[in-house]
């Protein structure tokens, strides 16, 4: 039941002119008589004409479309970033094609290929936890497509990047814990193939170092980035002969939530006996009791930044794109879970 759509030829025929003029009028070119232009516009409206963007893009060799690849669309941080990008790109008439990699490199590669096929002008990506190499990203560049990495970036790959200063944030977070009097601070680490988690560890170590606290290996836990894994890690940590007096879930607030639940269940008083610090400022962190201290990443703003960066780079097409990194300083949000009554 496909209806035939109105094309510029239909308009041209009706007005006894050529498609060229119609095209010019619709693109508001100066090379059409003003009267003709108005007439064309009027007729286009009457016939309910809608430009075929496929044809237009094909001809022009650009799609005014930006592809986005994130591990999960329905994860707060990412959906916020996307909202930010949408906001900024919409005004400029750009479209977004969104893909989720589900944390799998295999799907990530497929997403990249789909987006290249779609002739997107730019690909914005936060790589999956599973990604070990990045031939597929090199490929993007080889196809002359702009590539912007955000948050989870591959450092060696020279592209535009928008990141959080994870090291600094982590440093401030752990410093805060120490200043609150915590001395045995455990760290829940994320997958170390992602730089963001490495950096958070560096910040943690730097803070311990600054305050001359020892690094205790048994308090550093690998890969505890879901609520369940956070809970499990906490069970072990709190059963140690010398349990920690604070846990920094550098992986996520979900992990911190797992910590909180187990700690409460095991009868540890938060924040007095145990301090808890999360990462990402998920909405729920201010609702738990006690509310959880965390780090805000300005996710929507991050999205806007990505978009603005793209547009700025596009302005000077002639010059080669110079790899550039914009680092956003996250903010420590101090709540009850680390506020010891002194």
Residue with the two structure tokens 């700025």: 312
SS (H, E, C) 227-278: HHHHHHHHHHHHCCCCCCCEEEECCCHHHHHHHHHHHHHCCCCCCCCCEEEC
Task: Work out whether 266 is an interface residue with a copy of itself (CB under 8 A).
Answer: no
Q: Determine phi and psi for 58, rounding to 5 degrees.
A: -60, -50
Quick one: which H or E segment has residue 35? helix 34-46
Task: Work out whether 196 is an interface residue with a copy of itself (CB under 8 A).
Answer: no
Q: Determine phi and psi for 313, rounding to 5 degrees.
A: -65, -35
* DSSP helix/strand/coil, 28: coil
Structure tokens at 314: 């596009």
Out of a copy of itself, DNA, none, which partner does residue 322 contact, by CB within 5 to 8 A per kind? none
Residue with the two structure tokens 């007095």: 272
Task: Work out whether 52 is an interface residue with DNA (CB under 7 A).
Answer: yes
User: Quick one: which segment of 7-15, 137-145, 153-161, 303-311 binds DNA (CB under 7 A)?
Assistant: 7-15
Of the candidate residues 3, 45, 60, 133, the single one contacting DNA (CB under 7 A): 60
Residue 68 CB, shortest distance to a copy of itself, in Å, is 9
Of the candidate residues 21, 43, 80, 251, the single one contacting a copy of itself (CB under 8 A): 80
On whether the CB atoms of residues 275 and 244 are closer than 8 A, the answer is no
Residue with the two structure tokens 């039941």: 1
Task: Kindly write out the interface string for residues 21-40 of this chain, putting x where it contacts DNA by CB under 7 A and - elsewhere.
Answer: x-xx-xx--xxxxx-x----
Task: Work out whether 106 is an interface residue with a copy of itself (CB under 8 A).
Answer: no
Out of a copy of itself, DNA, none, which partner does residue 226 contact, by CB within 5 to 8 A per kind? none
Beta bridge partners of 164: 328
**Complex with DNA: residue 144 or 323, whichever CB lies closer:** 144
Distance of CA 32 to the CA centre of its chain: 45
Out of a copy of itself, DNA, none, which partner does residue 288 contact, by CB within 5 to 8 A per kind? a copy of itself
**Complex with DNA: residue 143 or 340, whichever CB lies closer:** 143
292 burial (CB, 10 Å; 0-12 / 13-18 / 19+) is buried
Q: Note the residues at the interface with a copy of itself (CB under 8 A).
A: 1-3, 5, 48, 50-55, 57-58, 61, 63, 65, 72-74, 76, 79-80, 82-83, 86, 90, 93, 95-100, 107, 113-114, 116-119, 139, 142-144, 257, 282-284, 287-289, 300, 317, 320-321
């Amino acid at each position: 039941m496909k209806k035939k759509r109105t094309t510029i030829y239909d308009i041209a025929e009706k007005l006894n002119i050529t498609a060229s003029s119609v095209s010019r009028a619709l693109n508001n070119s100066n090379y059409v008589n003003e009267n003709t232009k108005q007439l064309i516009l009027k007729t286009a409206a009457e016939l309910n004409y809608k430009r075929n963007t496929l044809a237009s893009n094909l001809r022009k060799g650009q799609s005014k479309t930006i592809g986005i690849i994130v591990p999960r669309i329905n994860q707060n941080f990412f959906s916020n970033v996307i909202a930010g990008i949408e906001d900024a790109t919409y005004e400029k008439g750009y479209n977004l094609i969104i893909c989720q990699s589900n944390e799998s490199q295999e799907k990530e590669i497929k997403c990249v290929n789909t987006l290249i096929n779609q002739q997107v002008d730019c690909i914005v990506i936060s790589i999956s936890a599973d990604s070990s190499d990045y031939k597929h990203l090199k490929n993007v560049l080889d196809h002359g497509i702009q590539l912007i990495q955000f948050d989870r970036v591959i450092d060696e790959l020279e592209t535009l990047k928008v990141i959080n200063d994870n090291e600094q944030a982590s440093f401030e977070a752990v410093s805060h814990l120490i200043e609150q009097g915590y001395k045995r601070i455990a760290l829940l680490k994320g997958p170390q193939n992602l730089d963001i988690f490495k950096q958070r560890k560096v910040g943690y170590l730097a803070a311990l170092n600054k305050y001359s606290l020892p690094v205790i290996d048994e308090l550093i836990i690998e890969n505890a980035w879901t609520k369940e894994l956070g809970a499990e890690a906490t069970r072990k940590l709190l059963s140690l002969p010398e349990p920690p007096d604070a846990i920094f879930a550098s992986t996520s607030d979900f992990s911190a939530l797992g910590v909180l639940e187990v700690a409460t269940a095991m009868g540890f008083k938060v924040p007095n006996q145990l301090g808890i610090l999360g990462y990402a400022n998920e909405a729920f962190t201010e609702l738990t009791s006690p509310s959880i201290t965390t780090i805000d990443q300005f996710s929507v703003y991050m999205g806007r930044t990505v978009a603005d960066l793209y547009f700025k780079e596009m302005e000077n097409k002639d010059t080669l794109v110079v790899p550039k990194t914009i680092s956003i300083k996250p903010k420590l949000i101090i709540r009850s879970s680390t506020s010891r009554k002194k």
